[in-house]
Structures are given as structure tokens and as C-alpha cells.
Structure 1
Amino acid sequence: MNPLQATYTLNDGVKIPTVGFGTWQIPDGDVAYDAVSFALDAGYRHIDTAYVYGNEKSVGRAIRDFGLPRSEVFVTSKLPAEVKTAGDVRRYADETLSNLGLDHLDLYLIHAPWPWGEAGQRHWDSENTAVWQEMIRAQQDGLSRSIGVSNFDAHDLQNLLDTTSVVPAVDQIKYYIGFTEPIIRQAAKAAGILIEAYSPLATGGILNQPDLMAMAKRYNASVPQLAIRFCLQNGVLPLPKATSQAHVVANTKLDFTISDADMATLNAAPDADPTRHNKTQG
């Protein structure tokens, strides 16, 4: 089955398409509108955005204008990382829905366990617990079918598991060949949390690696196709992004299988772009 048509079943029973279209760093306006339109035309049925991306209005307009039934497009957005007060959750959720022009989300994520300007400086356990409880209420009230987190490490996940009754459906993290976060993946797997991969191409950092280019050539594939397929074969949901129609379409050509030997090589690969992954806001 075409991965764009296949689904994973989340721990709450909701089905999510196994490949999503990411919109991080795609500017609001015609660029975001066209990119999402290209993606829907190419067969994507899973669109990922965030309040902080600043492009929700164009993303939502593209989804609405394309004209598919709402039930056929899985839409994700994210609560800003700076929101660490429960009382602010509903206000931002309502604003996101207004921006998108939708009456509900399919997945709503806490964008990070810390405000961006304080990443890694301390744990925000009590604040995340309080915000998560409000996320649960938002789900119960129908604002989003599923709820989850992004950029949470094993400690942050365990904090929620220890203090709340609803397990996050998803943890969206930076993940690519050479940077696969095994500790987070192990913690997520034990709890039944699906890992989503933003920047599965390392924000372009892996595209010109000779070894990957040679391997991709053996499969009559591009490096982006190899990288996306790598995520899928590891049971991770990739969120590739592109703005040109040609690249959007090319990233859907995933009808090949990486051999076990090549997967072992890829899983053992060193980080090809170590300067990037601690400085991103995907």
C-alpha cells in the first residue's frame, strides 16, 4: 500500500496517515498555500503546522479550498512552547482553530517541554503536568481528536506518565539518519507513544552525503526518498516538507524497501549534521 494511504493506529484508537506533510519554515501567504495545495494534490492526507510557524491561516485556507471532506484530511497543530500556564491553553487552541478555519484538530501537541529561550536549562514538570491536564480537557471538549507532545525527552514523557491518566498519542521529535534518539524512542515505545520525525532530511543536512547518495542510487531513489523510507521502516512517522511541486511529488515515491543490511548501516550512521539538532524549533 502507498504509505500516504496507509495509517498507524494511535493509542487512543485514532488512525493517522503514516506520512505527513510538514510546514515548518514555510512562510505564510502564497508559498504555504501553494505547498499545502501541492501536497494534497500529490496525495498527502496529513498536514502538520503550528501556531509558532505563523502560517496556520494559509495552511487552513489551502485545506479548505482543496475541497476534500474534513474527515479525509488529518490536521495537526501545536500549542506554543512558551505556554506553561493551564489558563492559556484554551485561548491558544481557539486561536489556532480560528486561524485554520476549522472546527477541530485531529492532533494537538505541546510544542516543547520548555519555552524556546530556556531550552534545556531546567525541567518544567509541574507546569507541563498542568498544561497537559488542560490539553486533556480540550480533547474531551472536542477541540482535538488526539493530543500529544513534541520535543519531549524520556524524563519529560515519564513526568506525564507519572502524574496524569492520559498517555500522549505522539511525541514529535527531530529524527533523521544518524540522529535517531534511541532513549526517547525506547521510552515512547514502552508507553505506546508514536514517534513522529520532523526534519527527516536534517533540514537538508544529509542530502549531499556520498554514502547515502550511492545507497539511494541502488534503489533508483533519491536521498530524500531513502531518508523518508528509513523512517517508515523504523516505525516512525516522517514529516517531510518542500515548497516546489516537483519536490513535493518526488517525496511521495516510496514504493521500495531498504534491505535489512542497509537499514543496519543507516541505523549505525553517525550524525551527519550535529550542529543543527539542538538549535531547531520544529
Structure 2
Amino acid sequence: MSADFLASMAAGSRERVCAARRARPEAAVLAGLRGVPSPPPFLRSTGGFDLIAELKLRSPALGPLRDAGAEDIPARVTAYARAGAAAVSVLTEPSRFDGELAHLEAAARALAPLGVPAMRKDFLVDPYQVLEARLAGAGGVLVILRMLPRPELEALIDAALGQGLFALLEAFDEADIELAHELVEARLAQRERLLVGVNCRDLVTLQVVPGRLESLAARLPAQVARVAESGVVTPEDAARIAAAGYDLALVGSALMTGGDAGALARRMIAAGRSAKAAGG
């Protein structure tokens, strides 16, 4: 995922927005939202560590995921929720992740009775896509900080907050985190619906960078929930990043390729909470 990759993903995302607007103008989306119930809120547990479990059918680094299948989305996300996931991330990007909005809709529909929000994970470039997410039942969205100019990032974040959604601000390095501080400081009144995450994948090789999560943890804003993204594969990894100061882990590939995703999710949550308790 080089900078060129992000630019390519942004260009593809803009094309999707244009096509979506032609098919359904923004006024029609807003009208449709009037009949959509509020999504479940994002709530952290009292245990000190939580999990955002991810649904994705393909990974650019790993290719098609062995246990993935669109037909089992409701069962899979239900297993995540019953294991204790605080939220479920759903990929909707089609070209590299085989995602679509229908996956988000199916996940949100299954999760709503369980009180767990779904999060749209995509390369968002336009507030229209936030409205799409809300219409599909999402309770949150991912915002990639290094992909857009600041005014466009702020428009995405404010659109999400204005719709009652949470926003996960994704950072890769110190510069991204500095921007996250500024964005959070300007929105402290809504900090319960802001999360800041560190993605520890190298943007060129797609490989996990050892130590990045730990080295950047202390730089993250203390006023909001801190999320470790990528590189969390085992319960021991969950304990390690919890001890480093993270409040949540976002885990996708390990859950999608494991034999019993619910059991692995439970073990990760338990390990993270034990590490938090041990650290005081």
C-alpha cells in the first residue's frame, strides 16, 4: 500500500461516489435516512480493553481469506458480537478487498438486536459515503488521515459526528498522529465518538512493522480511545498492545482465517484485559 496505492484507492473511491450520486442523489439519501433507526452506540467496556472484530473477504497482503464467504456474514458477525466485540468493522471496498455496501447492510442488520455497531471500513473521500454508511445501518466509519487534505478530512469527520456515528481516525506515523491531536482537540465535546488508531503495516511492502505500535502508543491523544490496527494475531499480541497503552485492537485476518473466530476473539479480549489489570 504505497502512497500511489492510496492515491489509486482514492481515485477509485471518487469514481464510486460519482456513480452512486448518479444512481441516488444526495437529497434522496437524506430523505431515506429519515426512516432509518439509530444504530447501536459505540460503548467501551469497564474491563479496560476491547475488540473491533473485522469482516473482510480479501486482504491485499494475503489474497482471498480461507474462511471468507458473503453468505455467512450474519453468522460470523453474530459470533463476533457474542464473543464480546465492541464493534464490527466491515470492508466495503470492492477492487482490493471484495467488499460492498450489501455486506455492511447484512452485518448491521444482524448486529442491531445485539446492540453492537458496524463500522464502514473503506477509502472514504466524500461525506456522501458517510451518508451511505448511515443508510446501510453503520454506527461508525474509518477515516484515513494521510489520504486527503485536512479540509476534506474534517468534512468526513464532521459528517460522521453529525449523523451520530463514531469515527476511527487511522494514523501511520508521527505526522498523522500530530494531525489527529489537532482534529481531536477541536472536537473534545464529542470525544466519546472519536477513536485514534495506529496501523502498523508498511505502506510499500504491506508487511507488519515490528515495534511500531509500541513506539507510537505514547504519542496518541489521551482524551480518546486508542486502537491498535494490524499485527494483532494471537492473545499474546493482544496482551502486548494492551500493556503498551492501547484500549482496543482491530483484528481482521486472524479472525477470518481461524477455525473458531468467536473463541479467538474471547481469548484476545481476556488477554488484553488481564494485561490492563496487571498494569494497574
TM-score, with length taken from structure 1? 0.57
Which residue is 2:133 aligned to?
96
The CA deviation string for residues 51-98 of structure 1, in whole angstroms up to 9 with x for no partner, is: 3241542243144235615xx2133224515x2xxxxx2211122234
State the distance in 1 between where 2:131 and 2:241 align: 32
Alignment counterpart, residue 211 of structure 2, candidates 157, 173, 179: 179
In the alignment, does 2:159 pair up with 1:138? yes
Return closer, same or farther for 1:161/1:195 CA change in 2, 3 Å cut-off.
closer
Q: Which of 64, 74, 79 is residue 109 of structure 2 equivalent to? A: 64
TM (norm. structure 2) is 0.58
Question: Which residue of 1 is the match for residue 250 of structure 2?
Answer: 239
Equivalents in 1 of 2:151, 2:172: separation in Å?
15
Residue in structure 2 matched with residue 75 of structure 1 by the alignment: 118
Q: How much has 1:142 moved relative to structure 2?
A: 1.9
Distance 1:64 1:162 in 2: 35
1:131 counterpart letter in structure 2 = E
Q: Aligned partners of 2:45, 2:172: CA distance in 1, in Å?
A: 21
Distance 2:101 2:219 in 1: 31
Is 1:23 aligned to residue 55 of structure 2?
yes
Q: 1:67–1:166: structure 2 CA closer, same or farther, 3 Å change rule?
A: closer
Letter matched to residue 74 of structure 1 = P
Tell me the distance in 2 between the aligned counterparts of 1:260 and 1:68.
Answer: 30
Counterpart of 2:142, as a letter, is L
Give the helix-richer structure, 1 or 2. 2
Give the match for residue 253 of structure 1.
267
TM-fit CA distance, 1:131: 1.7
132 and 166 in structure 1: CA distance in 2 versus 1, 3 angstrom threshold: farther
Write the deviation string for residues 5-56 of structure 1: whole angstroms up to 9, x where unpaired: x8269xxxxxx97112122436561254442132224333421124324154
2:61 aligned residue: none
Deviation at 1:183, TM superposition (A): 4.8
Match of residue 90 from structure 2:
49
Match of 2:15 in 1: none
Structure 1 counterpart SS, 2:141: strand
Name the structure 2 match of 1:154: 174
CA distance in 2, matches of 1:41, 1:49: 17
Structure 1 unaligned residues grouped into runs of 5+: 1-5, 10-15, 84-88, 115-123, 203-223, 264-282
In structure 2, the residue corresponding to 1:201 is in which secondary structure?
Answer: coil
CA shift digits 1:133-167 (9 cap, x unpaired): 213431443251x3231134221232354577226
Letter in 2 for 1:73: V
Runs of 4 or more consecutive aligned structure 1 residues displaced over 4 Å after TM superposition: 160-164, 258-261
Across the aligned residues of Structure 1 and Structure 2, the Cα RMSD in angstroms comes to 3.8
State whether residues 200 and 231 of structure 1, in contact with CA within 8 Å, keep that contact through their aligned partners in structure 2.
Answer: no
1:97-136 CA-partner distances (Å, limit 9, x unpaired): 34xx31x52x32213512xxxxxxxxx6xx1x11232134
Cα deviation, 1:150-196, whole Å, max 9, x if unaligned, reads 1342212323545772267222223589433345323214x534321
Contact 1:32-1:55 within 8 A present in 2 as well: no
Higher relative contact order (CA 8 A, sep 6+): 2
Using the TM superposition, give the Cα deviation of residue 252 of structure 1 relative to its aligned residue in structure 2, in angstroms.
0.6
Distance across 2 between alignment mates of 1:97 and 1:148: 15
Kept in 2: contact 1:39–1:248 (CA 8 A): yes
Task: Report the Cα distance in structure 2 between the residues aligned to 1:160 and 1:225, rounded to whole angstroms.
Answer: 28
Instruction: Name the SS of the counterpart of 2:118 in structure 1.
Output: strand
Identity fraction in percent: 12
CA contact (8 A) 1:113 1:151 kept: yes
Conserved? CA contact 2:83–2:263, under 8 Å = yes
